[in-house]
Amino acid sequence: MKSDGAKRQRGARVTRGELFSIFLRAGLAFGGGLGILAVLEEELVDKRRAVTKEEFLTIYGIGRIVPSGTMTALAVAYGYRFGGLFGTVIALAALSIPVFVLTVALTIAYHYLRNTRLFDLLPVTIMPAALALIIVAALKLGKDVFRPSRELVIACSAFALALFLRLNPALILLVGGALGAFVLQKVEEESDAREKESGK
Amino acid sequence: MSLWKLALLIALFNVMTFGNGPVMIPLLQTHLVEGSRVLTEDQLLYAFTIARVTPGQANFYVASVGYMLYGMPGAIATTLAIILPGYIMIPLLHGYEYLHGSRWIRGFTQGLTVTSVGLILAAVVEIARATLTQPIAWIVLPATLILTQLLKWNIFVTLAVVGCLGLLFRWLL
C-alpha cells in the first residue's frame, strides 16, 4: 500500500475496474484515433484528474512514435501506469474487444453474402465506396504534400516507383523514411521557427 | 502462406507503417493480393471498409484479413501481431526526452508519411484497375468522395446512400 502513496501524489488512483471501463468506452468511440483520444482525455484528465494535461499530451506524443498504432500504445502506457503489466492486459483487452468482435462479425457476414445474389452487388456499391475512402485517407495524411515542396517530390516519386517500376512498397517506404530523416528535418525546423514567431 | 508467415508479415508491415491502417493497404495489396494471391482485391477492400465503419483502432482490419485466410486463429494471430509492438511504449516512456529532441526521428516519420501518400494512391490505381470494371462503380466512387469530403456526411449515411445509388443504377441499366 505504501508504494501506492507515491502514485497518488502524482494524481488520483485508477482501479483496474475503472481502467477496464475507461478503455472499453474509448474502444467504443467512433472516428478512429481522435475519437478515442477525446474519450481518454475526458476520463483521465477532466473527470478523474489522474493525469495532468501536460502529461497527457506528452504521453500522446510518445505514443505517436510507437510502431503499433498510437491508441494501442496509449492503452499500454496507462495500463502500465495504473496497474502494472496486468493493467496493460486489461486496458488492451478493453480497448480492442469492441473493434475485434465487430470486425470478425462483419467478416463472417461477408462469407454468408458470398453465397447469395447480393454478393454480385458489392462491386457497384461497397467496393468503389471503399476505394474512395482509401483516397480520402491518403489526402488526410498529406497536408504538406499537395503544394510545391520536397514532400510533393518524394510522394510523386513513390507513386511512380510503385506503379510504373513496380518496386516493392515496403522498400520504397524505408527509403522514403531514410530520405526524410536527411531532407525533411530542415523543413521542419523552418516551420518550427515560423510557429514560434507567430506564437509571439 | 502459413499462419505464422502471415502473422509475421502483418507484424512487420504494422511496425513499418507505425500502425497506420490505410498506409498498410499498398503493402497488403502487393504481398497478399498480387504476390502470393491468397487474397482478392474485393476481400481487401471489404476488410478496409470494415475498418471505416467500426469503432476503435483503425488498423484492426487485419483481423478481417486473418479471418478470411485462417478463421478465428487467423483473426487472433493477426490482432496480436499488431498489438504486441505497443509494449515498446514502456521503455520509450523512459527514454522520451532523448527521442523527442531527435530531428532525425521526426524527419524519418515525416518521410514515411509523405512516401505513403504516394504509395497509397498507386495502390488505389492498381486496385481500381481490378475492381472498377463496371461503369456504375465510376459513379459511386466520386459520389462517395463528394459526400464525405465536400458535404461532410457521416460515413454510415454515405455508405447507405451510395449503396442505394449503385443498386438504383444497376436496376435501371
Which of chain B's residues have a Cβ under 8 Å away from the Cβ of A107? 46-47, 50, 63-64, 67-68, 75
Domains contained in chain B, number: 2
* Among chain A residues, CA nearest to B47: A107
**Cβ count within 10 A of residue B25:** 28
Asked which of A116-120, B31-35, B66-70, B111-115 is least confident by mean pLDDT, the reply is A116-120
Which of chain B's residues have a Cβ under 8 Å away from the Cβ of A67? 14-19, 85, 88
What string of H, E and C letters represents the secondary structure of B30-93?
HHHHHHCCCCCHHHHHHHHHHHHHCCCCCCCCHHHHHHHHHHHHHHHHHHHHHHHHHHHHHHHH
Kindly state the average pLDDT of the residues A173-196.
Answer: 70
How far apart, in whole angstroms, are the C-alpha atoms of residue A106 and residue A66? 28
State the pLDDT at residue A134.
86
H and E: helices and strands count for chain A: 8, 0
Kindly state the average pLDDT of the residues B142-161.
Answer: 88
- Contact in structure between A128 and B146 (CB atoms under 8 Å): no
How far apart, in whole angstroms, are the C-alpha atoms of residue A162 and residue A171? 10
Residue A4 pLDDT class (50, 70, 90 cuts): very low
H and E: helices and strands count for chain B: 9, 0
Q: Inter-chain contact A102–B20, Cβ cutoff 8 Å?
A: no
Residue B60 pLDDT class (50, 70, 90 cuts): very high
Do B125 and B148 lie in a common domain? no
Q: For an interface test with A, which of B113, B134, B138 has the most A Cβ atoms less than 10 Å from its Cβ?
A: B113
Do B120 and B153 lie in a common domain? no
Q: Inter-chain contact B120–A69, Cβ cutoff 8 Å?
A: no
State the pLDDT at residue A125.
82
Give the nearest partner residue to B111 out of A66, A138, A179, using CB atoms: A179
How far apart, in whole angstroms, are the C-alpha atoms of residue A127 and residue A33? 24
Percent of chain B with pLDDT over 70: 97
Give the nearest partner residue to A176 out of B45, B112, B123, using CB atoms: B112
List Cα–Cα distances, B154 to A30, A110, B86, in angstroms: 11, 23, 30
Give the nearest partner residue to A180 out of B14, B110, B137, using CB atoms: B110
Give the nearest partner residue to A76 out of B90, B115, B119, using CB atoms: B90
Kindly state the average pLDDT of the residues A157-167.
Answer: 91
Q: Inter-chain contact A123–B90, Cβ cutoff 8 Å?
A: no
CA distance A180 to chain B (A): 4
Residue B19 pLDDT class (50, 70, 90 cuts): confident
DSSP state of B20: -
Which residue in the block uniquely carries the three cell numbers 532525425? B104
* Among chain B residues, CA nearest to A192: B103
Higher pLDDT, A149 or A106: A106
* Among chain A residues, CA nearest to B9: A170
Do B153 and B164 lie in a common domain? yes
How far apart, in whole angstroms, are the C-alpha atoms of residue B105 and residue B4? 31
Which of chain A's residues have a Cβ under 8 Å away from the Cβ of B57? 32-33, 36, 69, 71-72, 95-96, 99
Sign of CA dihedral A113, A117, A118, A124: positive
Q: Inter-chain contact A170–B13, Cβ cutoff 8 Å?
A: yes
State the pLDDT at residue A127.
85
Do B124 and B171 lie in a common domain? no
A77 Cβ neighbours under 8 A, 6+ residues apart: A59, A62, A63, B89, B90, B93
Do B88 and B142 lie in a common domain? no
HSE at residue B24, side-chain half, CA atoms within 13 A, is: 30
Residue A199 has pLDDT above 70, yes or no: no
Do B28 and B107 lie in a common domain? yes
Do B159 and B82 lie in a common domain? no
Residue A195 pLDDT class (50, 70, 90 cuts): very low
CA distance B106 to chain A (A): 7
State the pLDDT at residue A196.
45
Domain, as residue range, for B40: 3-131
Exposed / middle / buried, residue A48 (Cβ in 10 Å: 0-12, 13-18, 19+): middle
Residue A111 has pLDDT above 70, yes or no: yes
State the pLDDT at residue A200.
33
Kindly state the average pLDDT of the residues B52-59.
Answer: 86
* Among chain A residues, CA nearest to B18: A67
Mean predicted lDDT score pLDDT of chain B = 88
Kindly state the average pLDDT of the residues A137-141.
Answer: 81
Mind listing the pLDDT tens digit for each residue in A33-78?
777 888 888 889 888 888 888 888 888 878 877 888 889 999 999 9
Residue B27 has pLDDT above 80, yes or no: yes
Of A129, A115, A130, A110, the closest CA to residue B166 belongs to A129
* Among chain B residues, CA nearest to A64: B18
Do B126 and B171 lie in a common domain? no
Do B149 and B107 lie in a common domain? no
Do B84 and B109 lie in a common domain? yes
State the pLDDT at residue B163.
87
Do B102 and B62 lie in a common domain? yes
Do B147 and B70 lie in a common domain? no
Q: Inter-chain contact A123–B137, Cβ cutoff 8 Å?
A: yes
Mean predicted lDDT score pLDDT of chain A = 82
